[in-house]
Copies of this chain bind each other. A is one copy, B any other.
Amino acid sequence: MENSGVLLVISAPSGAGKLTLLNEVRARKVDQIVTTVSATTRPPRTGEQEGIDYYFLERSVFEARRDRGEFVEWAEVHGNLYGTLNDELDRCLDTGKDVILELDVQGMQNLRRQRDDVVSIFLMPPSLEELERRLRSRGTDDNEVIELRLKNARHEIAERHAFDYIVVNDKIESAASDMEAIIRAERCRAERQP
């Protein structure tokens, strides 16, 4: 993995503020973080370009590659398959830039079995009380959904020690600085140096 970018995987319970944090980190490091191109079975829309917007694959091809374990993640949405190819990670990392993947605990652990260059971060809410407050203040979910999200969050938080790093998202600026520090430190890791 010499001279290549850092492959970060981030997981967070719903309401921990992952999207806001990633927007902040991407804004700070706009030239250093590269976005992977997903593969999809959805037909291209007007103007969409192969290899830039998506890799457009026939369903049979997508499924064959998926069954050969070539995807690090995949999902079916509205009848179309979407996923990230392991090859695509290498293509991005070989540019020397960093990649941030959003995966759940299982996804992170699967990826770790495939690759030895995974740097994993679990994003923690400051407390379960604060998480509940954030979920309720969204005003989008009813009580039952909120209770389910909190239950899932407790399970996910219980597995946080499966990750390399734990970042507490108390203040977004501080959590973004933690992520920047982790990327910078990982680039100094001896095993990355020639």
Contact = CB atoms under 8 A, between A and B. Distances in A.
Interface stretch (A37-45, A77-85, A99-107, A156-164): A156-164
Interface in A161-178: 161-167, 177-178
A192 B160 CA distance: 12
Nearest to A122: B190
Contact of A178 (B161, B184, B191): B184
A189 B120 CA distance: 10
A167 B140 CA distance: 47
12 contacts: A122-B190, A161-B190, A165-B185, A166-B189, A166-B190, A166-B193, A180-B181, A181-B182, A182-B185, A182-B188, A184-B185, A185-B186
Given A161-B193, A163-B190, A185-B185, 11 more contacts: A122-B190, A165-B185, A165-B188, A165-B189, A166-B188, A166-B190, A166-B193, A178-B188, A181-B184, A182-B185, A182-B188
